[in-house]
Amino acid sequence: MLGSYEIEYEGRRYFSNVVLREYHIFEHDNAHYLVDVGNKAVSPISARLASMIKKVDSAFGCLIPESAMEELRKLKLVTGEEEETSEAVADGESIGSYEEFEYPVVNISLFLAQECNMRCVYCYGGGGHYAGKGMMTEETAFRAVDWLMENSKKAESVSISFFGGEPLMNFSLMRKIVPFAKRQGMKKGKQVFFSITTNGSLLNEEIITFLKEEKIRTFISFDGPSEYQNSQRPFKNGKGSYDKVSANIQKLRAVIPHLTGRATLCGEADPFRVKEGMERAGFTTCFITKASPVLLNTQLADIPSAREEALQRMLAFNRKEMEQLLVAIRARAIDKNYLPGLLYVMAEMDFGQKRYYGCGIGKGMVAISTNGDIYPCHRFVGIEELRFGNIADYHIEGLNDYWRAVVDHLPECWSCWARYFCGGGCFYNNKAHTGDMHRPDSLYCRETRAMIEGLIHLFCDLSKDDKEFLKGVIKYVTEERIFKMPINPTINK
C-alpha cells in the first residue's frame, strides 16, 4: 500500500488514500464516543466528527480536506503516523512478545474435598464430586504445595485457593497445609497467600478464628434472599440452607467485617433482588454471575428466550451498578481493599493496557484434584480429556495451548473491537454454550460489549481529579495486592 499523499486543488490542500487505524464509534445517552482499538484509548467526540470518520473509512481514495485530516491526526487515527506504544497486558502482567512469554504457575485451586453437604441446582461439579469422590490426603496436599513451589519458578509470591466440593469438610487438612506451605515458601523465598471458597454452612468459632489469624481471604457462595438461597442451594437432605448460612455469616462478620460474597443467577432470578439480599446479609463486596450449562453431567436446558430475558435483566443491573460506581468515585467512597470488578475494566482504559486472555487458565493458574491430577482450572476438574497430568510427574515447561490462546488468534474475537477489554471470555462458559473453548457465547459478547460501552461513557464523564483518584487506587492495588494475593472468585460454585 502506497499510503496517504497530499494534493492541492484550487489553493487548498487535500489528502487521499488515508487509511484509519482500527476503531469503534458508538452512541450512548445521545453522546458519541471513539475507541482506538489498538491502544484502548477512548474519547468523546462530536456527532459531526463521528460522521466524518465513518465517511473517510467507507470511501478509500476520496479527497479529505486538510482540516479534517488534522482532526484525524489529533485522534491518532491515521495509520503510519503514530506508533502503537501500549504494552500487552495479560492476567495483570506486562509482557512483550506474548508468544515467547512463559507463565510460572502462581495460583493453584486445591480440591480438599470432592464431596459437598449441599446439592446446588446449577453445580458444575456434579454435586461436588467432579467425576470423582473423596477427600484429599495429607501426602497429596503436601506434594501439591511442593509442586507449586517448584513450578512457580522465580515468582516471589504464590497463592493457594482451598476449593471443593465443600473444602471445610476437610478442615483438619487445611489446618496442616497452611503452616506447611508457609515453611516451604520461606525455604524458597516466596510469600504464600491463601483464600477459600465455601458455602458457609460449616463455619464455627474454631474455623473463623483460623481464617482470621491466618489472613485467609474468604469467598462465600450465597444467592441472596431466602427464597433463592433455599431453592437453589439446598442441603443434601433437601432442607433450605438460608437460615444456617446467614447465621454463620453474622458470626464471621463479627470477626472479619469486610466480607466477599458471590451469587449465581439461575432461572428467573432478579439480580437486583440478589444484590439486595447479599447486602442485607452483610457482604461488602458482591460478585454476581449467571449459571452455565454443566459439562460433567446432562446439560442444563439452554432456552434462547429465557437466556435473552436473563440478558436484559443483567444489562439493566449493570447500568445501575455503573451509576452507583460513578457516585462512589466522585465521593471518593472507594475502599482500596474491596474494589468492584467494574473498576478494573475502567482503569485499563486510563492505562492503555491490553488483555490478551480472559484469565490465567492453564498458565498462571491450575487446579489440583483430590488425587493430585492437574487441570487447567477448577471448573474443568473431572473432564479427563483436559487433564494435564499428575503432580507426581507433570511439570510446567514451554508453551501450551492456553498460552497460545491469544484473543487476536481466536476466530470469533480477532476482529471484535472489544477484544482487548475482554480477552476472549471464560473458556468454561465458551465450551458449555458453544462446544468450543475458543468460541465465546454470542449473548456473553453482547453483554460484555454493552458493559464496556457503558464504562467508557462513565470514564469519559470523570473529571481530571476523578481520574487521578482512580489511577491512585489501581496503582495501590496493583503494587500492594494483586500480585501478592490473586483474586479468583468462582462461578457456579
Instruction: Tell me what percent of the residues of the chain surpass a pLDDT of 70.
Output: 87
pLDDT at 471 > cutoff 90: no
Give the pLDDT confidence of 209-245 residue by residue, as tens digits.
999 999 999 999 999 999 999 999 999 999 999 999 9
Between the alpha carbon of residue 336 and those of residues 254, 284, 415, 471, 480, the distances in Å are 21, 12, 35, 11, 10
pLDDT value of residue 93: 39
pLDDT at 15 > cutoff 70: yes
pLDDT band at 146 (very low <50, low <70, confident <90, very high): very high
pLDDT value of residue 335: 73
What distance in Å separates the CA atoms of residue 425 and residue 419, rounded to the nearest whole number? 9
Domain boundaries, the chain: 5-75, 107-481
> Under a CB-based contact definition with an 8 Å cutoff, are residues 53 and 23 in contact?
yes
Read out DSSP for 13-82? EEEES--BPSEEEEEETTEEEEEETTTTEEEEE-HHHHHHHHHHHHSTT--EEHHHHHHHHHTT-BTTTS
Amino acid at 362: G
Handedness of CA 74, 75, 76, 78 (dihedral sign): negative
Which residues neighbour 186 within 8 Å (Cβ) at sequence distance 6 or greater?
Answer: none
Give the pLDDT confidence of 385-442 residue by residue, as tens digits.
999 999 999 887 767 888 888 898 888 899 999 999 999 999 999 999 999 999 999 9
CATH superfamily of the 107-481 domain? Aldolase class I (3.20.20.70)
pLDDT band at 282 (very low <50, low <70, confident <90, very high): very high
pLDDT value of residue 302: 52
- Top pLDDT among 38 and 172 is at 172
pLDDT band at 61 (very low <50, low <70, confident <90, very high): low
- Top pLDDT among 480 and 248 is at 248
Chain-centre distance for alpha carbon 281:
24
Between the alpha carbon of residue 423 and those of residues 344, 369, 391, 458, the distances in Å are 14, 27, 29, 21
Nearest Cα residue to 380 out of 294, 442, 486, 261: 294
- Top pLDDT among 143 and 54 is at 143
Q: Supply the mean pLDDT for the chain.
A: 87
The C-alpha torsion from 442 through 447 and 449 to 452, rounded to 10°, is: -160
What distance in Å separates the CA atoms of residue 104 and residue 94, rounded to the nearest whole number? 14
What distance in Å separates the CA atoms of residue 243 and residue 398, rounded to the nearest whole number? 49
